Chain A
Amino acid sequence: MPFFVDNMPINLRTHGHGQGYTDLSFIIPETIEGIDVVKGTYHEGFGDFDTAGAVRFKTREVLKENVVQGYRQSGYLFGIRAVATAGFQVRDDTISNISFGTQTKRVSTGTIVESAVQEASYTRPT
């Protein structure tokens, strides 16, 4: 199945885990407004991987509330996650800037095996 985030295709081709491997870890859940799931091969507009259906994520245009979140999970894999979003309302339903960051760390037997910082910002002309 093809996956899209705001029409950007997500499936990775010629990937070691399998053709069309879909890594959704970059998605920040707080920024998702909704998910469309389309069944079948009957709809034009989806190309590669359109065999059983398609999934489309839509991100929010405007973040109406501010979120600060921390998350920690311990066990075999240790994970830490932090999210901060900020929206500055200039006019009704118009926002000047959205920025957010996440950080994930996985620690196995005391060693950091994966660490990533993701950041994105969105500026809309007012």
Chain B
Amino acid sequence: MKLELQSTPWMRLSGGLLTDYFTFDVRNLCDTCPQQPNGRTDSGQVSPKANLILGPWSNTEFFVNYGTGFHSNDARSTEAGGSSPLAKAQGAEVGFRSKPWRPERMELIATFWWLDLKSELVFEGDTGTTDARGLTRRYGIEIGARGQVYGPLYFDDSFSWTHAEFRSTGLAIPLAPELTAYSALLLRWPEGLSS
């Protein structure tokens, strides 16, 4: 379900509701191993989503986004009681997008974002499996710029910083990157050759 509203020229609001329903049906076909999971679980979630865009004023737009999502868990572990069938995710971001000079020249984008997970799946390198480790929180910033330098020369750069922690202990999440950066210089010849 989706709804879009544009009440004034400088404000756009869109939102949606997503409904998911899951049935986990696990059958243990092994007669001699009653400890293996067996059973049936139903679970569902309604996920609201909202996007608000303000502007543009002097080629600058501000945006606020909010939404919930989820990931399902292994059907066997939902029957064994190891994890809840659906793990909710909740996130939001505020930021702006700007082309301060000529529209084709350069685009700047900056966001502050936040993401809460009800159950983080952490990869276990020793066993090659993943493990449900509980509530986590992430927040961070991302800034980026891209555009034309001169003639056929373009650039595309972005940088992000993330703080990731387990809610219960405050410890860092294994394998969660803290800093990422990307930088590219591109040559785009009109003949179709690029490098």
Contact = CB atoms under 8 A, between A and B. Distances in A.
Q: Place the interface of chain A in its size category.
A: 20 to 34
Contacts of B90: 41
A52 B89 contact: yes
A13 B91 contact: no
B49 A43 contact: yes
Contacts of B66: 42
A16 B76 CA distance: 11
| Chain A residues touching B, majority SS | loop
| Chain B residues touching A, majority SS | strand
Interface in B47-82: 47, 49-51, 65-76
A68 to B, nearest CB: 21
Interface string A42-66: 1111111111100000000000000
Contact of B72 (A18, A42, A46, A48): A48
Interface of B: 1-2, 16-18, 20, 22, 47, 49-51, 65-76, 87, 89-93, 113, 115, 117, 121, 123, 128-130
Interface of A: 13-20, 39-52
Q: Which 7 A-B pairs have the closest CB atoms?
A: A44-B16, A50-B69, A18-B130, A41-B69, A42-B65, A42-B67, A51-B89
